[in-house]
């Protein structure tokens, strides 16, 4: 019986490890990710989130990121290694879906500790380049992304936007998380009881972006007062503030990692950042899509600065 339990635990950890590896690829290699089954999490925090305290460890400082009562992560202070702790996953207390949702925060934290941009955003690509949608949960990032994919766009990343030195958007794992009611409204599924669905881009009619792609525009999603669709250029200083506010714990690291602020400043200096005001209606998605296509390529054309 003990051998059977051990084998089951190993099998569950192997499955969860595959999820973690694929989700964290933009920041870490497989050997930099470790999963461990424990009886209880080692650090008790008031609420969930990233500990501002740096704990001493064998490899130097580490930060503790608590996600639930059953899942937590040690993240090395340089963002180069993570140790994911799961409370008795073989007992079914830790579902793969929970790890899927958590890895975005872990990925974002690792990228920031590495001195790289990590914005809570979705990015899609066309032949001309990529555009990113920034906003808190429920603002429409996934809905807009799903519609773009249905029109032949390629998915660059879901939940975490990072760029290289050439201001190219870095591809993430090829799946889009979508609220079930949104998927139903878009005609993708029917009668599902799931809270969120994880859909491959091809399921939505889109493609997979496997290589970095030039980022042409970043849109901060806002709901319009009426029926209008318009965009407004965000001044550089405000754009930096907005993107940091929409990044994973960047408000902590901007003080302790000076290079991080410079990375965000360079991003807004080289990539247009705009507020997008649009009606939150599924029927208007074709109009929003047409506006974005025209505005993005018009805005990023040589010699155009506003």
pLDDT tens digits, 51-79: 766 665 556 688 888 877 788 899 998 99
Is the pLDDT at 133 greater than 90? The verdict is: yes
pTM for this model (two decimals): 0.88
| 185 compared with 44, residue with greater pLDDT | 185
Q: Answer whether residue 306 is part of any domain.
A: no
Same domain, 103 and 184: no
Cβ neighbours around 5 below 10 Å, total: 11
Range with lowest mean pLDDT among 88-102, 209-223, 276-290: 88-102
Which pLDDT score, from 0 to 100, does residue 257 have?
Answer: 85
C-alpha–C-alpha distance, residues 182 and 284, integer Å:
14
Percent of the chain past pLDDT 70, that is, above it, reads 83
Which pLDDT score, from 0 to 100, does residue 214 have?
Answer: 98
Is 84 strand, coil or helix? strand
Which pLDDT score, from 0 to 100, does residue 195 have?
Answer: 66
Is the pLDDT at 45 greater than 80? The verdict is: no
Residue-number span of the structural domain to which 134 is assigned: 119-299
C-alpha–C-alpha distance, residues 114 and 146, integer Å:
30
Residue among 209, 231, 227 nearest 300 (CA): 231
Q: Answer whether residue 67 is part of any domain.
A: yes
pLDDT tens digits, 262-286: 999 999 999 999 999 999 899 999 9
Percent of the chain past pLDDT 90, that is, above it, reads 51
Same domain, 133 and 101: no
Which pLDDT score, from 0 to 100, does residue 269 have?
Answer: 98
Same domain, 142 and 277: yes
Q: How many domains does the chain have?
A: 2
Same domain, 82 and 226: no
Cβ atoms of 111 and 27 within 8 Å: the answer is: yes
pLDDT tens digits, 238-260: 999 999 999 988 888 888 888 99
Which pLDDT score, from 0 to 100, does residue 249 have?
Answer: 87
C-alpha–C-alpha distance, residues 194 and 253, integer Å:
35
Range with lowest mean pLDDT among 46-55, 151-160, 179-188, 242-251: 46-55
């Amino acid at each position: 019986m003990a051998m059977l339990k051990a084998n089951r635990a190993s099998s569950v950890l192997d499955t969860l490890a595959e999820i973690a590896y694929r989700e964290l690829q933009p920041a870490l290699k497989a050997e930099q990710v470790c999963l461990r089954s424990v009886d209880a999490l080692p650090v008790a925090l008031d609420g969930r989130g990233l500990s501002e305290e740096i704990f001493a460890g064998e490899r130097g400082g580490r930060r503790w990121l608590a996600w639930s009562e059953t899942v937590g992560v040690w993240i090395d202070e340089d963002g180069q290694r993570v140790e994911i702790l799961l409370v008795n996953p073989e007992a079914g207390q830790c579902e793969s879906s929970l790890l899927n949702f958590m890895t975005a925060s872990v990925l974002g934290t690792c990228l920031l500790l590495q001195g790289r941009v990590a914005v809570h955003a979705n990015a899609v690509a066309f032949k001309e380049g990529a555009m990113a949608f920034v906003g808190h949960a429920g603002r429409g990032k996934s809905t807009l992304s799903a519609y773009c994919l249905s029109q032949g766009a390629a998915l660059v990343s879901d939940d975490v936007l990072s760029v290289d030195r050439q201001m190219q958007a870095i591809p993430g794992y090829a799946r889009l998380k979508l609220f079930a009611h949104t998927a139903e409204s878009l005609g993708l599924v029917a009668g599902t009881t799931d809270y969120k669905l994880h859909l491959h881009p091809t399921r939505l009619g889109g493609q997979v972006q496997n290589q970095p792609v030039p980022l042409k525009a970043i849109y901060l999603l806002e709901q319009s007062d009426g029926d209008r669709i318009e965009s407004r250029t965000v001044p550089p200083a405000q754009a930096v503030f907005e993107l940091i506010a929409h990044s994973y714990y960047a408000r902590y690291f901007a003080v302790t990692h000076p290079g991080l602020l410079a990375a965000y400043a360079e991003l807004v200096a080289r990539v247009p950042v705009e507020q997008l005001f649009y009606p939150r209606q599924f029927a208007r998605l074709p109009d929003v899509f047409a506006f974005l296509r025209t505005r993005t390529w018009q805005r990023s054309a040589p010699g155009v600065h506003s």
